Amino acid sequence: MNPLSRARAVVCWLVLFLVGALWIGRQEYVDQHERFFQNTSVAQRMLSQKTVQHEAVLATLAALSHPPSPERLYPSLQPAMPQLLGLGHLPGGVWAGSIDQPPGLPAAVERARQLGRPVTLPIDNARYWLVSPSGWSLLLDARQLVPAADFPPGLANLTLTVGQPPLALLDKQPEDAVPGLTLALQKPLGAASQPFQMRSTRKLTPDAWPWTAWLAWAAASALLVAGAAAWQRSRAEARRQQEQARLAAMARLGTLGEMAAGIAHELNQPLTAILAHTRAAERLLDDEEERPAVRHALLASAEQARRAADIISRMRALVQPSSPARREALDPDALVASLRFLSEPELARQGIRLSWHNASPGARPLGDRVALEQILHNLVQNAADALAGVQGTRHISIEGRAVDGDYQFSVSDTGPGIAADAMPRLFAPFYTTRAQGMGLGLALCDTLAGSMDGRIAARNLSPAGACFTVSLPRAGAAA
Ligand code: ADP
């Protein structure tokens, strides 16, 4: 995996992990909040039941026509009500109680009568008198309402506001414990006479969070991303292989097309000549006197067929690099004579004169006859094409001479010459400026010359025309 896709995979994993972790965290928070709410409600119900019980006791006492004395009553009530610290009443305005009369009691009784229900008379932040309209009063200790152990174990901190400061009923998490998210809920107790505010808080400390689930999700998401990355890689690899196979197939087709076009280009000439010669022979066949002409046409036709066969075998040799081009000392005069025999009728038809001058008689180029013939034939054909639109002198001159260790043929014409921008691309396959051209002639000449350790070059002539030179090693010259 390259560094970029590794970084991308890590980012993907991070995003996936964070989204999942947030969801898990949120679920956990919702669960914790739900549990906290339920536990707090249970505590509120437990405390409320006790306060309602106080009202019931007071109502029962008020209903008694001959109530027992508070000193006797207290010991019988206390075991069932540990929060009860004392009780008493005011029959005829005189206090009778298990403990002393609290200050402010008559006013509290008056208030209770006005409200028609018991009222509280706080002593401190835990103890309070509950005073009924009948004058019966209970001294209660809020600390003893519910034993701490009876509260739901999930509760952390619980306070009850009887007086100031609020009374702590549970204190499992000290105020400055580790920082964390705090859940808080405040509710008044259910009895109308003792509507003390109960407040429950719970801090979600780090250990309350779902670390195991997060860790498992981190591992699972990493596996998921790694799996997805591997799958994507294998898909990309398969695509790459497909693409490579497609390109290779296209390249093979391209080469094949190039080859086919090249072969067609080269074979066109001899096949056209064979057709022309055999048609001429057919026309002359019935005339006894034309027998020599028929023979000549058939011979020429056979010569062209041999040339076509030679071209094909050369092509085969070219695509089989193991078979080296033949080297033999060639006779330039014979070579050009054969070329002229083939091309002159067509050139004459186009009004083109072909001349040959051997400046170094006796010198012999080393090479393959068919390949060299093909090169010269192509150069002459190109020169003829260049002369097609020329008014005035139409002349192609072929010259041969020894130059250093080489034998050099030059094919010059009086055409328009080669455009400056065409010059560097002349020998590239498929470069052509002709509407009917395939741009393979010069590329093939270049390949053929190279296969004989020769080279081909082009230049413009002054005042007009182009000159192509083919240099081949010279027989007898020191290498
Ligand atoms: P084609 O003949 O199919 O165009 P070639 O490879 O034989 O392909 O020639 C490539 C190009 O070189 C031609 O299109 C032409 O522009 C240029 N060229 C070749 N020979 C001559 C010439 N004698 N004079 C001017 N331009 C030439």
Ligand 1 centroid–CA 424 distance in Å is 12
pLDDT at 30 over 60: yes
pLDDT at 318 over 60: no
Instruction: Determine the average pLDDT of the residues in 31-46.
Output: 96
Ligand 1 centroid–CA 461 distance in Å is 15
**pLDDT tier for residue 247 given thresholds of 50, 70 and 90:** low
> Cα(118)–Cα(130) distance, rounded to whole angstroms?
6
Ligand 1 centroid–CA 327 distance in Å is 28
Task: Indicate which atom in ligand 1 lies nearest the CA of residue 439.
Answer: 8
pLDDT tens-digit readout, 319-329: 554 345 678 99
What pLDDT is recorded for position 252? 59
Rounded mean pLDDT of the chain? 89
> 328 and 363 in contact (C-beta within 8 Å)?
no
**pLDDT tier for residue 315 given thresholds of 50, 70 and 90:** low
**Residue whose CA is at the smallest distance from ligand 1 atom 11:** 432
pLDDT above 70 covers a percentage of the chain that reads 92
What pLDDT is recorded for position 249? 67
- 188-202, 427-441, 451-465: range with lowest mean pLDDT: 427-441
Ligand 1 centroid–CA 369 distance in Å is 23
DSSP β-bridge partners for residue 400: 358, 409
DSSP β-bridge partners for residue 129: 121, 139
Q: Is the CB of 431 under 6 A from ligand 1?
A: yes
Locate all alpha helices (DSSP H) within 197-210, ordered by sequence: none
What pLDDT is recorded for position 31? 94
Domain 328-473 has CATH 3.30.565.10: yes
Query: Which comes out higher in pLDDT, residue 357 or 255?
Result: 357
Dihedral pair phi/psi, residue 114, rounded to 5°: -65, -40
Q: Is the CB of 386 under 6 A from ligand 1?
A: yes
What pLDDT is recorded for position 86? 96
Q: Is the CB of 437 under 6 A from ligand 1?
A: yes
Instruction: Determine the average pLDDT of the residues in 269-274.
Output: 88
**pLDDT tier for residue 91 given thresholds of 50, 70 and 90:** confident
What pLDDT is recorded for position 322? 39
Q: Is 328 exposed, middle or buried (0-12, 13-18, 19+ CB in 10 A)?
A: exposed
**Residue whose CA is at the smallest distance from ligand 1 atom 7:** 441
Task: Indicate which atom in ligand 1 lies nearest the CA of residue 413.
Answer: 23
Q: Is the CB of 414 under 6 A from ligand 1?
A: no
Ligand 1 centroid–CA 442 distance in Å is 7
Type of residue at 275 = L
> Cα(139)–Cα(136) distance, rounded to whole angstroms?
10
Structure-token pair, residue 396:
């192609």
What pLDDT is recorded for position 319? 58
Residues 6+ apart with CB under 8 A from 13: 221, 222, 225
**Residue whose CA is at the smallest distance from ligand 1 atom 27:** 418
Ligand 1 centroid–CA 262 distance in Å is 15
Instruction: Determine the average pLDDT of the residues in 168-197.
Output: 88
What pLDDT is recorded for position 451? 85
Q: Is the CB of 434 under 6 A from ligand 1?
A: yes
What pLDDT is recorded for position 192? 92
DSSP-derived secondary structure for 114-161: HHTS-EEEE-SSSEEEEE-TTS-EEEEEGGGSS-GGGS-TT--EEEEE
**Residue whose CA is at the smallest distance from ligand 1 atom 20:** 382
Element (H, E) at 179: none
pLDDT at 215 over 80: yes
pLDDT at 251 over 60: no
pLDDT at 312 over 80: no
DSSP β-bridge partners for residue 399: 357, 410
Q: Is the CB of 466 under 6 A from ligand 1?
A: yes
Rg of the chain over Cα atoms, rounded to whole angstroms, equals 59
Ligand 1 centroid–CA 388 distance in Å is 12
Dihedral pair phi/psi, residue 354, rounded to 5°: -115, 125
The CB-based long-range contact list for 385-391 (8 Å cut-off, 24+ gap) reads 385/434, 385/437, 386/413, 386/415, 386/416, 386/466, 387/350, 387/352, 387/413, 387/414, 387/415, 388/350, 389/416, 390/414, 390/415, 390/416
Query: Which comes out higher in pLDDT, residue 2 or 70?
Result: 70
Ligand 1 centroid–CA 433 distance in Å is 7
pTM over 0.95: no
Domains of the chain, residue spans:
6-208, 328-473
What pLDDT is recorded for position 434? 84
**pLDDT tier for residue 130 given thresholds of 50, 70 and 90:** very high
What pLDDT is recorded for position 92? 82
What pLDDT is recorded for position 436? 67
> 344 and 333 in contact (C-beta within 8 Å)?
no
pLDDT at 254 over 70: no
List for the chain the helix, strand, coil content (%; round to 5). 50, 20, 30
What pLDDT is recorded for position 321? 46
Q: Is the CB of 352 under 6 A from ligand 1?
A: no
pLDDT tens-digit readout, 368-419: 998 899 899 999 999 999 999 899 889 999 999 999 999 999 999 999 999 9
